[in-house]
Structure 1
Amino acid sequence: MRTAVRWAATALLSAILGFALAAWIGSSIPRNGDWQEPAVDAEGTVTILIGTNAIHTEIIMPIVTDAVDWRAYFPVEDIANPGRDYTHVGVSWGERGFFLETPTWADFNPVIAIGALGGGDGLIHAAYYVRPAPAEGFRELRIRPAEYRELARLIAGDIVPPPGRKTYPGYDRHDVFYDARGTYHIGKTCNQWTSDRLAAAGIRTGWWTPMPGGVMKWVPDLPGS
Structure 2
Amino acid sequence: MKRIADRLAFGLAALVIAFLLAAWIGSAIPRNAGWHPHPQGIEIMLETNGVHTAIVMPLVTPQKDWRPLFPATDLAAPDRPYTHLAISWGEREVFLNTPTWADLSPLTVLRILAVGGDGLLHAAHYVRPAPSADLRPLRISEAEYARLVQRIEAMAPLPGKRQRHPGYGDHDVFYDAPSRYTALNTCNQWTSDTLAAAGIRTGWWTPFSGGVMKWAPQPAQER
Shift of 1:3: 2.7
Shift of 1:70: 1.0
Match of 2:52 in 1: 56
Judge which range, 182-191 or 139-148, deviates more.
182-191
Q: TM-score, normalised by structure 2?
A: 0.94
The residue type equivalent to 1:143 in the other structure is: I
The residue type equivalent to 2:24 in the other structure is: W
Q: Where in structure 2 are the equivalents of 1:133-152 lying within 5 Å?
A: 133-152=130-149
Q: CA RMSD in A?
A: 1.3
Match of 1:81 in 2: 77
Q: Where in structure 2 are the equivalents of 1:1-225 lying within 5 Å?
A: 1-39=1-39, 42=40, 45-117=41-113, 118-223=115-220, 225=223
In structure 1, C-alpha distance between the alignment counterparts of 2:167 and 2:11, rounded to whole Å: 37
- Flag the 1:202–1:112 CA change in 2: closer, same or farther, 3 A: same
Q: Deviations over 1:61-117 (max 9, x none)?
A: 000111211111111011111121110010001111122223433222222123223
8 A Cα contact 1:55 1:104, kept in partner: no
Shift of 1:10: 1.9
In the alignment of these two chains, the number of paired residues is 221
- Flag the 1:102–1:21 CA change in 2: closer, same or farther, 3 A: farther
In structure 1, C-alpha distance between the alignment counterparts of 2:209 and 2:142, rounded to whole Å: 26
The residue type equivalent to 2:108 in the other structure is: I
In structure 2, C-alpha distance between the alignment counterparts of 1:56 and 1:121, rounded to whole Å: 17
Segments of structure 1 that go 5 or more residues without pairing to the other structure are none
In structure 2, C-alpha distance between the alignment counterparts of 1:161 and 1:115, rounded to whole Å: 30
In structure 2, C-alpha distance between the alignment counterparts of 1:103 and 1:93, rounded to whole Å: 15
Query: Percent sequence identity over matched residues?
Result: 53
Judge which range, 94-103 or 211-220, deviates more.
94-103
Segments of structure 2 that go 5 or more residues without pairing to the other structure are none
